[in-house]
């Protein structure tokens, strides 16, 4: 039987365990452009960033700008901005990617799956009928249908028109 390979080179960093210890949500010292950091939107209170290791095409993260770990420590304004941005993001993803549904939630703490437990963020994952198949069940393999940078370039203009 012919061996088949699913190629996802951007996952190599994640699989190899070579993770950057800096917070992906906080401004870097190296002043990388937003495209390199996969930031689709940012203002004084909230930012939207693409998940570098997505569960599905269009997997986005919405976080407060303030470096904070606990949901209960967010201000009312931060909570409102995160949820308003979630609404706007859903509208954009429905228009551009046309998903059948969404998984939305917070992973609070490392044991709950938070990749960055020191900076709270909302996970927004578009879902399509049939997007979970035997690959994910047998070997935690996911098929991402569009390259991250290509998707970034598609989504970015939509986020520039948001005014919270």
Q: Which residues are catalytic?
A: 121
Q: What is the distance between the alpha carbons of residues 87 and 95, in angstroms, rounded to a whole number?
A: 13
Q: What is the distance between the alpha carbons of residues 117 and 140, in angstroms, rounded to a whole number?
A: 22
How many alpha carbons fall within 13 Å on the CB side of residue 113?
6
Q: What is the distance between the alpha carbons of residues 7 and 143, in angstroms, rounded to a whole number?
A: 9
Exposed, middle or buried by CB within 10 Å (0-12, 13-18, 19+), for 57? Answer: buried
Pick the closest to residue 8 from 152, 141, 161, 121 (CA basis).
141
**β strands within the chain, DSSP E:** 39-42, 46-50, 60-64, 101-106, 122-127
């Amino acid at each position: 039987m012919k061996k088949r390979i699913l190629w996802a080179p951007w996952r190599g960093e994640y699989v190899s365990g070579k993770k950057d210890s800096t917070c992906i949500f906080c401004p870097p010292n190296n002043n990388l452009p937003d495209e390199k950091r996969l930031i689709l939107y940012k203002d004084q209170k909230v930012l939207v960033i693409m998940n570098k290791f997505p569960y599905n095409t269009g997997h986005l993260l919405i976080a407060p700008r303030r470096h904070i770990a606990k949901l209960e420590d967010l201000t009312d304004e931060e909570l409102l901005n995160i949820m308003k941005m979630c609404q706007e993001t859903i509208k954009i993803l429905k228009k551009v990617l046309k998903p059948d549904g969404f998984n939305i939630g917070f992973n609070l703490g490392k044991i709950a799956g938070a990749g960055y437990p020191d900076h709270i963020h909302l996970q927004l994952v578009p879902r399509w009928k049939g997007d979970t198949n035997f690959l994910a069940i047998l070997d935690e393999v996911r098929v991402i249908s569009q390259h991250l940078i290509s998707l970034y370039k598609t989504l970015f203009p939509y986020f520039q028109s948001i005014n919270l």
